[in-house]
Amino acid sequence: MTNLKLGYLGVNSAQREEWLKIGHALGLGLANETTDDVLYFRLDEYRNRIAIHQSDQEGFAYVGWDCGSPQVLRARIAAIKAAGIDVVVESEELAAERGVCELASFHDINGFRTEFYYGAMVHNDPMHHLEPVEGHFVTADEGMGHVVYAVPDLAKTRDFYIDALDFRLTDMTRGPWLTIDFLRCNPRHHSLGLMQGRGPASFQHLMLQVETLDDVGRAYDRAEKQGIKIACTLGRHNVEKMVSFYIETPSGFDIEFGSGAIRVDDEENWSAKVYDPGSHWGHTWLRKWG
């Protein structure tokens, strides 16, 4: 069994000021490495968690998974190649730009640029949140959060991540309007969500988790005050029990911001379950789904 961690997300955007507003609303940190070309947000000691690349394109650019060691990186490269997918061992220059030792990349079966690495750069300096917060982001052995893709063929995509990348199926939702498989690769309930889409593949959301419910509520207040669009109101998910809300980013996807998700610490005895897609309470979508 391989433990991977969601390490970073790269985004192309022309909307630097809007992203800075999001950074303030959510209490992110700004890394010293930030330049005119790349805005680097921190969540913890790592330099590179969310990179906003100045661009005339808008949207998802890449996702990075921390393999933790050279052995795991090499094993994953071999498994992805065995699945018939080309893997590029990236240059030292690109690895340095991402702030990691060794980096490989491929495009998954839906075209999402996916990077694998080990040895990410950390800072000794404590992180300075852009706004005062009461607790930390929940990262460490759970990685930086989770990502959710909407995909045209859910079963095929799930099998690829399970077979080639050693993800495990944690839970599912099944319903007339929402079908999702939740996959884990460490104790976080899910680091990857795969949603049955109705069109081409798209990046749906990034989730960031904080320790305290108060930080969720205070971020909600700041987002509203700064005019950031709330995509979905506060609510508690049935599946991983997180209390969260969703904001719209200017780059075509949402950020879910929450607290209180359960973990999977007993790998051997976990059984995947099927839930109704509704939430326990709340989570009213303010945006209409196409």
Interface residues with Fe ion (CB under 5 A) are 207, 256
**What's the closest the beta carbon of residue 284 comes to Fe ion, in angstroms?**
16
Would you say 104 or 247 has its CB closer to Fe ion? 247
**What's the closest the beta carbon of residue 101 comes to Fe ion, in angstroms?**
30
Q: 260: part of which helix (H) or strand (E)? A: none
**What's the closest the beta carbon of residue 68 comes to Fe ion, in angstroms?**
24
**What's the closest the beta carbon of residue 147 comes to Fe ion, in angstroms?**
9
107, with CB counted inside 10 A (0-12, 13-18, 19+), is middle
Would you say 171 or 256 has its CB closer to Fe ion? 256
Would you say 181 or 256 has its CB closer to Fe ion? 256
* Of the candidates 95, 86, 21, 7, the residue with the CA atom closest to the CA atom of residue 49: 7
Would you say 90 or 256 has its CB closer to Fe ion? 256
**What's the closest the beta carbon of residue 256 comes to Fe ion, in angstroms?**
4
Would you say 108 or 256 has its CB closer to Fe ion? 256
CB within 8 A of 193, min separation 6: which ones? Answer: 146, 147, 148, 149, 180, 181, 182, 183, 204
**What's the closest the beta carbon of residue 184 comes to Fe ion, in angstroms?**
13
Q: Measured between alpha carbons, how far is 55 from 97 in angstroms, rounded to an integer?
A: 16
Q: Measured between alpha carbons, how far is 25 from 218 in angstroms, rounded to an integer?
A: 8
**What's the closest the beta carbon of residue 260 comes to Fe ion, in angstroms?**
13
Q: Measured between alpha carbons, how far is 129 from 28 in angstroms, rounded to an integer?
A: 5
Would you say 105 or 173 has its CB closer to Fe ion? 173
Residue type, 173: T
Task: Determine how β-strand 243-248 pairs with β-strand 254-259.
Answer: antiparallel
Beta carbons of 58 and 283 less than 8 angstroms apart: no
Would you say 248 or 256 has its CB closer to Fe ion? 256
Give start and end residues of each alpha helix (H) in the chain.
16-26, 70-82, 92-98, 154-165, 213-225
